[in-house]
Amino acid sequence: MKNILKRTASVAVAGALLLQFSSTVFAGTRVVIRNNGAHSRNRVRIQSTQDVDVTQTNRANITNTVVAVANTGDNLANGNTGGNTSITTGDASASATIVNVANANIAVVNTCCNGDTPCEPVVE
């Protein structure tokens, strides 16, 4: 009876240590062993490989030439004879808006086996 308790405690401690170390390696991987009974032996192998190469290259040449001119000056009213002479000028305004967007990239890389799909373990 003491032997069984020692074995059970040893397996529990070893499992806890293994789980602690493997949780960072297999983050997102879920392994469930079912239908096991007393004195059963279970082994799980997980192999996960992911290679990701992302290359983004940008080149942009932007030239903006804007000329905005507004002028209401140099108004003349001479050489007028008789009567009232008046000159009315309005406001002068000029505006320009330029928006340039270049070299904007987005790369989305899944960090698990198949995104959110759990890895399939090999159970022996």
Candidates 94, 105, 121; CA nearest to 28 is 121
Which one-letter amino acid corresponds to residue 92? A
Q: Domain for residue 119, yes or no? A: no
CA geometry: angle 100, 106, 112, nearest 5 deg:
175
Q: Is residue 73 assigned to a domain?
A: no
How many domains does the chain divide into? 1
Inside any domain, residue 4: yes
- 57, part of any domain: no
The reported pLDDT for the residue numbered 104 is 83
Based on DSSP, count helices (H) and strands (E) in the chain, helices before strands. Answer: 1, 2
Domain annotation covers residue 14: yes
Determine how many CB atoms are found less than 10 A away from the CB of residue 3.
Answer: 7
| pLDDT tens track for 54-107 | 788 889 999 999 999 988 777 777 767 777 777 777 788 899 999 998 988 877
Provide the residue range defining the domain that includes 13.
1-26
Least confident of 30-34, 73-77, 85-89, 111-115: 111-115
Note the pLDDT of residue 114.
53
